[in-house]
């Protein structure tokens, strides 16, 4: 399989009719940026406001930060080295504070618990959004629990003041997924984006380039034009049909599982499944128009699915 891809540089110009869309590849490395700075860059590049994350509540940031400490480690216990599960247990929550404990379970090779103890406690004070840490010096020699507790506090401060790689990567992926992408190269990270989303991609590309000073490593997006030829149209149509059919199969399986468990269609389930099916209908229409091919089988399957989950009077015509 080969792609006729032209980079529009120099005197090379691609008009709208000559393009099907772009293959995009992006990289988001470790980074750290003030929330206000990211919001300014986001608006500067005309990216949709609805994708910007809302402000995280300090109490939620505290719970997320403590939860991030859960892991399995090796500890020096009872004269030997053992695996231990580090877990977070909430022991108090009221209008004034939240207290969570960092506990550890020493386990043997059969995963049976040999010992259970509290390594420390963290209290979030709602009045001033601060964290107070209680450390247990008795347990400290077996493992660096102090380091875990300190890292929780640093992570909390990160969540409150900064966006990191995970947040930025999720934002970029949400924007890309809103553009009805298709994986036209199996097992590739690159996604095909229809041409009507070109300026959206340019905005993301510009954003990622401006994030480079905040990043540890390469940060950016590459856009490869996919030219409008019969071969490329057939490829895009085929891959789009496969992906949409796969998503429809997942909806059918979810409906079957729901009916098996509950025996009927609850309103919330009907609304969610119908909404997803209508989104798939819209994707079918977009790709039909793009590649000038009618996907009759998918149309019929989607119409049948919607008729199964919705009352007749509220069915969406395909």
Sign of CA dihedral 300, 301, 306, 307: positive
Clarify whether residues 116 and 26 are in a common domain.
Answer: no
Q: How far apart are CA 52 and CA 67, in angstroms?
A: 23
Q: Which domain holds residue 238?
A: 231-314
Within this chain, do residues 159 and 62 fall inside the same structural domain, yes or no? yes
300 falls within a domain: yes
User: Which residue from 19, 12, 33 is spatially nearest to 169, judged by alpha carbons?
Assistant: 33
Q: Both 145 and 77 in a single domain?
A: yes
Contacts of residue 9, Cβ cutoff 8 Å, sequence gap at least 6: none
Element holding 309 (H helix, E strand): helix 296-309
Could you tell me if 153 and 85 lie in one domain? yes
pLDDT at 14: 59
Regarding whether 310 and 240 lie in a shared domain, the answer is: yes
Residues 70 and 104 in one domain: yes
Q: Report the 10 Å Cβ neighbour count for 117.
A: 15
In a domain, 211, yes or no: yes
Whether residue 97 is found in the same domain as residue 23: no
143, 69: one domain: yes
Neighbours of 93 (CB within 10 A): 14
**C-alpha 117 chain-centroid distance:** 35
Q: Would you give the DSSP letter of residue 25?
A: E
Exposed / middle / buried, residue 39 (Cβ in 10 Å: 0-12, 13-18, 19+)? middle
Confirm whether 53 is domain-assigned.
Answer: no
Contacts of 231 (CB under 8 A, 6+ apart): 4
Are 39 and 103 in a shared domain?
no
Same domain (yes/no): 119, 261: no
CATH code of residue 81 = 3.40.630
Specify whether 135 is located in the same domain as 220.
no
Q: Walk along the chain (318 residues) and give the pLDDT tens digit of each residue.
A: 444 444 444 334 456 788 999 999 999 999 999 999 999 999 999 999 999 888 889 999 999 999 999 999 999 999 999 999 999 999 999 999 999 999 999 999 999 999 999 999 999 999 999 999 999 898 889 999 999 999 999 999 999 999 999 999 999 999 999 999 999 887 778 899 999 999 999 999 999 999 999 999 999 999 999 999 999 999 999 999 999 999 999 999 988 887 777 656 677 787 888 899 999 999 999 999 999 999 999 999 999 999 888 755 444 444
Number of separate domains in the chain: 3
Domain membership of residue 11 (yes or no) is no
Alpha-carbon distance of 277 to 265, in angstroms, equals 15
Among 109, 131, 163, where does a domain finish?
Answer: 163
* Both structure tokens of 182: 């298709």
| Residues 64 and 141 placed together within one structural domain of the fold | yes
């Amino acid at each position: 399989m080969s792609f006729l891809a032209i980079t529009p540089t120099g005197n090379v110009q691609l008009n709208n009719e000559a393009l099907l869309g772009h293959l995009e590849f992006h990289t988001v490395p470790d980074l750290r940026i003030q929330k206000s700075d990211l919001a300014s860059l986001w608006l500067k590049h005309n990216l949709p406001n609805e994708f910007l994350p809302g402000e995280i509540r300090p109490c939620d940031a505290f719970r997320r930060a403590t939860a991030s400490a859960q892991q399995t480690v090796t500890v020096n216990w009872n004269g030997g080295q053992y695996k231990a599960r580090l877990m977070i247990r909430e022991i108090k929550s009221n209008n004034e504070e939240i207290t969570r404990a960092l506990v550890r379970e020493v386990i043997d090779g059969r995963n049976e618990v040999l010992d259970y103890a509290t390594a420390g406690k963290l209290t979030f004070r709602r009045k001033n959004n601060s964290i107070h840490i209680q450390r247990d010096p008795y347990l400290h020699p077996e493992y660096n629990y102090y380091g875990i507790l300190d890292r929780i506090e640093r992570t909390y401060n990160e969540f409150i003041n900064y966006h990191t790689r995970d947040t930025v990567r999720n934002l970029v992926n949400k924007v890309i997924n809103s553009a009805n992408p298709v994986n036209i190269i199996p097992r590739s990270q690159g996604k095909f984006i229809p041409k009507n989303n070109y300026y959206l991609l340019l905005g993301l590309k510009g954003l990622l380039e401006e994030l480079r000073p905040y990043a540890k490593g390469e940060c950016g997006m590459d856009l490869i034009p996919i030219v409008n030829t019969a071969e490329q149209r057939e490829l895009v149509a085929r891959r789009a049909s496969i992906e949409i059919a796969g998503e429809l199969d997942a909806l059918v399986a979810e409906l079957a599982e729901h009916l098996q468990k509950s025996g009927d269609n609850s309103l919330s389930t009907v609304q969610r499944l119908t909404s997803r099916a209508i989104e798939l209908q819209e994707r079918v229409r977009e790709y039909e128009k793009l590649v000038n091919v009618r996907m009759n089988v998918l149309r019929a399957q989607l119409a049948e699915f919607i008729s199964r989950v919705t009352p007749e009077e509220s069915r969406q015509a395909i």
